[in-house]
Structure 1
Amino acid sequence: MGQAKSRRRTCTTPPPRGQEIRGWIDLNLLPQELLVLILSWVPGRTLVTCGRLVCRQWRDLIDGPLLWKLQWERDPLKREALPAALEVARRCPRMEWARVGILQPFGRNLIKNPRGEEQFQHWQVGHGDGMCLGGNTCWISQLIDLVKEGLWEDLLDSFQPDIFISDWWGTHEKCGCTYNIYVLLLAADKNSVIARFVTEMDPTEEWNVPFQQASHVFRQYGPGVRYLRFQHIGNRPGVEHTEAHITNSTVLVKLSQ
């Protein structure tokens, strides 16, 4: 007699109601410390766009500091921004952790393409080609939406963090060009000027000013600031072209020490 063949029995009918096999785990049953650790491995944008909608507990965790601290401590690029964010949270009780966690507005240069590479990408250039003849003046400008970069209205109006700017300006001895920096803090209409910084050149030394670093801190500038315009303006007395120069333009937001 031969051995009977072994046959695998397959289930062709679903299990009775109430006996379904569950392939998921209710994460809310985990201790909160473990839940925070698990969620901290989820990409930040996914946490905000999807995770906050799961339940009130997840929303509160994502809106709080613990989860974002874990993410920043793992990422060397974000680790440096953690002290600044903690200082803001200490002074600003209404800290928007999810917003800060994704956009990282503190301690990050808000100027895009700060050296004017990539064919002046992100910059507006006078006459559109980087050089101009009209009025012997050339300008390069960048408008920064402070709210879009990660700040929020209540922070800008009530706490008014310092806005630090720096760059280089002066004259170009070989061609007689002068360069000046204009930085404006603007209201929501993008036109109303709330505060400004302008480099000033002594007329008696107009063509003998070596390039030097200019820096300024906007502090206690008042409510209503929503935009910052960073602009270089170059002038030349003759009819030759004036070239636009950018040398590591910087805009940083941080709190007063």
Structure 2
Amino acid sequence: MSSAEWKQKCAAAWSLQGAPMPDSLDWKSLYEAKPLGRNLLRNPEPHGLSKDTPPPEAELSEEPPRGPPRFEPEGNFTGWTTNTEVLPHDTSGIPAGAVVCQLPQHSWFSMEQVVDLKAEGLWEELLDEFQPEILIQDWYEESQLHESIYQLHVKLMGADKSTVIAEHSVNPTEDLSTYSHNWKEVSHVFAGYGPGVRYVHFLHRLKNQFMMEFFQTRFTGTSVIVKPTKSSR
């Protein structure tokens, strides 16, 4: 196929009506890379779980495990930059004079990735002029570990990796009065964000708890997808 035919094939596959498509680009390579419509994050399911199946219930040991406290979850986090922040004990709800045998201790486990949009096959004219919608989606495990168990912060950044062009943060509060254990969806669509976007910085934090045993908050189905559509606004 000629370059013009590959370009036409890309235009048809992505329905890029009105988007700039320079003849100088390697349309065959772009078609094979599929930069539009696919998940640009690496390793979106490090716990090996699917949002289409309820999260597994925690299994308690017959005898409490011995050893030092644990604060990091299990999983294959290849592709993610991770960090653990152990939080101090919360004693605010303990009445004066009460005898406390043990308190739960919480930790934040942070995971982040930076997506290089040009390296993934997107071209400057598309990002600057057409400004396709960028969909962020995540699913975290609902639990009663704490009223705050999940945080998300996503930034669209310029070529210097320091200029923030647009950002979105989420810090939901959990209902601890009723037991519920499902996947909870978090999503956002960036649209009309302006020219200059070259990177997406994705960061989410999930809270874990140690009290005799370790209880973690898991996630799955995390995605950053550049859609072949433009905001109608």
Q: Same fold (TM over 0.5)?
A: yes
Deviation at 1:139, TM superposition (A): 0.3
Counterpart selection for 2:28 from 84, 98, 105 = 98
- Tell me what 1:227 maps to: 199
- Tell me what 2:219 maps to: 246
Deviates more, 1:176-185 or 1:223-232: 176-185
CA distance in 2, matches of 1:115, 1:208: 29
Q: Equivalent residue of 1:65, what SS?
A: helix
TM-score between both structures, scaled by the size of structure 2: 0.64
Size of the alignment, in residue pairs?
A: 178
Work out whether residues 130 and 230 of structure 2, in 8 Å CA contact, stay in contact via their aligned partners in 1. no
CA distance in 2, matches of 1:84, 1:198: 32
Identity, in percent, stands at: 33
- Tell me what 1:114 maps to: 44
RMSD: 3.1
Work out whether residues 141 and 218 of structure 2, in 8 Å CA contact, stay in contact via their aligned partners in 1. no
Work out whether residues 140 and 244 of structure 1, in 8 Å CA contact, stay in contact via their aligned partners in 2. no
Deviation at 1:191, TM superposition (A): 2.3
Opposite residue 256 of structure 1, the aligned amino acid is K
Work out whether residues 135 and 188 of structure 2, in 8 Å CA contact, stay in contact via their aligned partners in 1. yes
- Tell me what 2:162 maps to: 191
Opposite residue 39 of structure 2, the aligned amino acid is N
Query: CA separation of 1:160/1:93 partners in 2, compared to 1, >3 Å: closer, same or farther?
Result: same
Q: Give the helix-richer structure, 1 or 2.
A: 1
1:217 aligns with 2:170: no
Deviation at 1:65, TM superposition (A): 2.8
Query: Runs (4+) of structure 1 moved beyond 6 Å?
Result: 237-242
Deviation at 1:197, TM superposition (A): 1.6
**Please, which runs of 5 or more residues in structure 1 have no aligned partner?**
1-35, 37-60, 70-80
Deviation at 1:222, TM superposition (A): 0.8
Which of the pair has more CA radius of gyration? 1
1:180 aligns with 2:151: yes
Q: Equivalent residue of 1:180, what SS?
A: strand
- Tell me what 2:123 maps to: 152
Opposite residue 157 of structure 2, the aligned amino acid is L
CA distance in 2, matches of 1:188, 1:138: 28
Bigger relative contact order, structure 1 or 2, given CA contacts below 8 A and separation 6+? 2
Work out whether residues 126 and 138 of structure 1, in 8 Å CA contact, stay in contact via their aligned partners in 2. yes
Deviation at 1:68, TM superposition (A): 7.7
CA distance in 1, matches of 2:108, 2:11: 42
Query: CA separation of 1:99/1:153 partners in 2, compared to 1, >3 Å: closer, same or farther?
Result: farther
Work out whether residues 235 and 242 of structure 1, in 8 Å CA contact, stay in contact via their aligned partners in 2. no
Deviation at 1:98, TM superposition (A): 3.5
CA distance in 2, matches of 1:113, 1:82: 29
- Tell me what 2:5 maps to: 65
- Tell me what 1:256 maps to: 230
TM-score between both structures, scaled by the size of structure 1: 0.58
Opposite residue 122 of structure 1, the aligned amino acid is G
Deviation at 1:115, TM superposition (A): 0.5
Deviation at 1:101, TM superposition (A): 2.0
Work out whether residues 157 and 198 of structure 2, in 8 Å CA contact, stay in contact via their aligned partners in 1. yes
